[in-house]
Amino acid sequence: MYRIAHHTSHSGRRLFSTVAYSTRFPATLLRLNAGSTFKKLPSETDGRVIRYDGSRKWMDCIALDRATLGPNTFSMQEIIRTAVDNYYEDIEDGSRILSPFIFTIPKGTRLPDGLILLRESIALFSLHSSQQTSPEEFDDRVAEFFTQCAVKQEADAWLDNHLYEEAAVDENEGEWMG
């Protein structure tokens, strides 16, 4: 694990924060792919348009420059459960859509050259390119990594195997890192 310190100016004061990054997964982490069932909140819309042609299955629910992941916490369970609920509501409304699924990357998985894992907050991680690259090259690297290293499972089946009451609290790092 490496740490990068940076400073920001806020109200004339200099603040310091630390962002940690790694070349191995420090915990088993999950990535939700909710496809068309993903419904952004208005506060999450930043004006960028992602053209999605269905070829990049890992891309649903991401910003353009990273792929977000998290451990099996109550927060992550709520996000996954909401995506599954949205899916079934859309099915009831007559939509023909793919079921949301989860990518699971086991603890200790080594990242390939060209990718790093940033820890953005207590229980939020994201994959980034370790060097400047085009969005297409980044897409290719992440898609290859998920194809080789992630276990893919339908979200409702994943929820059947990972009960809500067995999830950890975001702040209980010792439990979900274990």
Contact assessment for residue 24 and residue 67, using Cβ atoms and an 8 Å cutoff: no
Q: How many beta carbons lie within 10 A of that of residue 115, not counting itself?
A: 19
Helices marked H in 26-154: 74-92, 135-149
- One-letter identity of residue 168: A
Cα–Cα distance, 46 to 48 (Å, whole number)? 6
pLDDT at 104 over 50: yes
Which band of pLDDT confidence, cut at 50, 70 and 90, is reported for residue 139? confident
C-alpha dihedral (160, 145, 55, 82), degrees to nearest 10: 30
Domain with 146, as residue range(s), is 2-7+14-40+49-177
Q: What's the number of domains the chain is made of?
A: 1
Average pLDDT for the chain:
78
pLDDT at 156 over 70: yes
